[in-house]
Amino acid sequence: MVIAQMQQQQKRRYIDRDWEQGHIRLWNDYFQEDATYPAHIFRRRFRMNKHLFMRIVDSLSTQISFFQQRRDATGRPGLSALQKCTAAIRMMAYGCVADAVDEYLRPGESTAISCLENFVEGIIYLFGAEYLRRPTPEDLQKLLDKEDERGFPGMIGSIDCMHWEWKNCPTAWKGQYTRGSGKPSIVLETVASYDLWIWHAFFGPPGTLNDINVLDRSPVFDDILQGKAPKVKYFVNGRRYNLAYYLTDGIYPDWATFIQSIQMPESEKAILFAQRQEAARSAFGVLQARFAIVKNPALIWDKEKIGKIMRVYVILHNMIVEDERAGYTQYDVDSFTQLEATRTSQVDLTYVTDRPTNIGNLMGIRNSIRDQTKHDQLKADLVEHLWNKFGTNPNYGL
């Protein structure tokens, strides 16, 4: 009798997941006017505010056919756009496997995977151009003004690398993606500004590479080398400079575009500089906390799909940053013009970046980027500048 029941259960192919009840439960819990869970719980579980999530759902449901609710041959409605988008967000936010969202949202395992894949494709198509863009001259001026207040004229962000473990890396590739006795991983290089907006993301190098090896392959300086970057000038300790720079950790080389901390500061000036440089870079630690899918090992075999997930991670991250810092990308160029007389860092908004280049100019710019003498001079001037600005109140602005 028991064997017959087991055989009958094994033959069963169809599971009635009751999609309608799944949608009603989701709507009542989070989206109706008097929802069961308040806004702060929605923010924690969806990693974004409700109006931003609804903006994403509306855009996907109107422009991507996969997220439009359909009826089957019997006239029964399928999964709603809310269910599909919520399934994708839950998988990204918690880094869970596909069938973990079945019991609450009601999609099957293969459907949940399709939700994630189509969600990734849709986000890149609809929002990639806006939220993966390079900084415009107006963006750069905003960054320079803010960093000037924090004591770093000419600084436009922090650069660093992180590794995403690749659990299902093909066996033939493991030697290329594994360092030492560790596990296979893929490297992401990012440049983030003071408010965690990611302006540059370079993903794909194998985990055997360190930050310097990744930098050799990175396009982070391509616009500068090709003469397409906006022209910048700023003053530190009374001396003029023309190349913006990034804050880095100690592994990066002593180039004019990188400023590291002081590992063993002895004087009060050096201690203050190290304290503020490391504080300006400390925000990097929160980047992985937003979506656990990039913190947990990647479960996908296809590297191209992993790369698209990472791109969507950056896009959603920037959308959340913009939403929670209202007006971040809404710049008033006239206000910059009014401040020209007082600011120490300035972007030439009239500079033409669409210009041809040649090998001679390229090598000259490359040498100026890697100039160690300028690096040493800039670092010394920053030490003096920070001491003059914050020496009497070292904790101001931290």
Q: What are the structural domain ranges in the chain?
A: 17-130, 137-390
CB contact at 8 A, 379 and 246: no
Residue 248 is predicted with a pLDDT of: 93
Check the CA dihedral 125-126-132-137 and report its sign.
Answer: positive
Burial 155-186 (b: 16+ CB within 10 A, else e): bbbbbbbbbbbbeebeeeeeeebbeeeeebbb
- Helix ranges (DSSP H) in the chain: 2-11, 19-26, 39-46, 50-63, 81-94, 102-105, 109-131, 137-149, 174-177, 211-217, 222-225, 268-281, 303-324, 333-338, 359-369, 372-390
Residue 205, Cα to own-chain centre: how many angstroms? 17
Residue 81 is predicted with a pLDDT of: 93
pTM, two decimal places: 0.86
Q: Tell me how far apart the alpha carbons of residues 310 and 110 are, in angstroms, rounded to a whole number.
A: 21
CB contact at 8 A, 105 and 81: no
Residue 361 is predicted with a pLDDT of: 74
Q: Which amino acid is at 70?
A: R
Residue 15 is predicted with a pLDDT of: 75
Residue 45 is predicted with a pLDDT of: 93
Residue 36 is predicted with a pLDDT of: 93
Residue 362 is predicted with a pLDDT of: 77
Which DSSP string do the residues of 270-285 spell out, in sequence order? HHHHHHHHHHHHGGGG
Q: Tell me how far apart the alpha carbons of residues 139 and 312 are, in angstroms, rounded to a whole number.
A: 21
Residue 300 is predicted with a pLDDT of: 85
Q: Tell me how far apart the alpha carbons of residues 354 and 341 are, in angstroms, rounded to a whole number.
A: 28
Residues of the chain with pLDDT under 50: 327-341, 352
Q: Tell me how far apart the alpha carbons of residues 280 and 58 are, in angstroms, rounded to a whole number.
A: 37
